């Protein structure tokens, strides 16, 4: 970093959602730099440091209103317009490989899932499943870069930075839950839906 350059000013805002408050970080051009759940704020700040430099040196972070486009897109997404976030402008940082993985994530359509192996093949590194998994886990912009749509080769949910309950909720919301999770997961979901048909709204 040039010694004469100044930290890049970023703003953070809080947006409510059915699965917990979400933090969104934008730059001065209105591009989304980070999206994470409020209870995972330390992880969000860690990724900002990793991709945009230490706070106070590479960037500054202060409270500020999110662009209307971001707020409106997330509201529409949670209301059922599953492609509403597709047009949001983003700036991720990261390595060339990470950016390739994250670009591939954005091509996974709502209501579908893929595996780490399939994602590795898409980015031209068919043996790099672990590296793909690491890039997936270091995704700084959840939901918009839908890492929740990546599942295990055995259809298990595997990990998710926001927690497996949220991953399960998101896949159910998108209509992909029938194809995600283990047999036990799917049976549990079916039983829960039968017992409480409005569970999604209360999640």
d(CA 15, CA 64): 12
Q: What is the C-alpha to C-alpha distance for residues 178 and 101, in angstroms, rounded to an integer?
A: 25
148 is catalytic: no
Report the 3 state secondary structure along 139-202.
CCECCCCCHHHEECCCCCCCCCCCCHHHHHHHHHHCCCHHHCCCHHHHHHHHHHHHHCCCHHHH
Number of H helices, E strands in the chain: 8, 6
The active-site residue, picked from 44, 48, 84, 147, is 147
Of 26, 25, 30, 63, which Cα lies nearest the Cα of 45? 25
Alpha-carbon torsion angle 169, 149, 81, 91, nearest 10: 120
Catalytic positions, written as ranges: 147
């Amino acid at each position: 970093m040039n010694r004469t350059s100044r930290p890049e000013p970023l703003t953070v805002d809080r947006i409510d959602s059915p699965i917990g408050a979400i933090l969104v970080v934008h730059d001065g051009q209105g591009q989304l730099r980070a999206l994470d759940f409020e209870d995972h704020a330390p992880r969000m700040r860690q990724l900002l440091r990793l991709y945009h430099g230490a706070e106070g040196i590479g960037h500054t972070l202060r409270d500020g209103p999110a662009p209307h486009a971001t707020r409106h897109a997330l509201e529409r997404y949670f209301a059922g317009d599953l492609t509403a976030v597709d047009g949001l402008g983003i700036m991720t940082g990261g390595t060339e490989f990470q950016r390739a993985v994250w670009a591939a994530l954005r091509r996974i359509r709502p209501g579908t899932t893929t595996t780490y192996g399939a994602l590795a093949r898409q980015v031209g590194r068919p043996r790099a499943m672990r590296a793909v998994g690491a890039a997936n886990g270091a995704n700084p912009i959840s939901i918009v870069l839908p890492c929740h749509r990546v599942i295990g080769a055995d259809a298990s949910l595997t990990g998710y930075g926001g927690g497996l309950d949220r991953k399960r909720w998101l896949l159910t919301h998108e209509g992909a839950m029938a194809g995600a999770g283990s047999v036990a997961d799917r049976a549990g979901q079916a039983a829960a839906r039968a017992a409480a048909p409005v569970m999604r709204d209360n999640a």
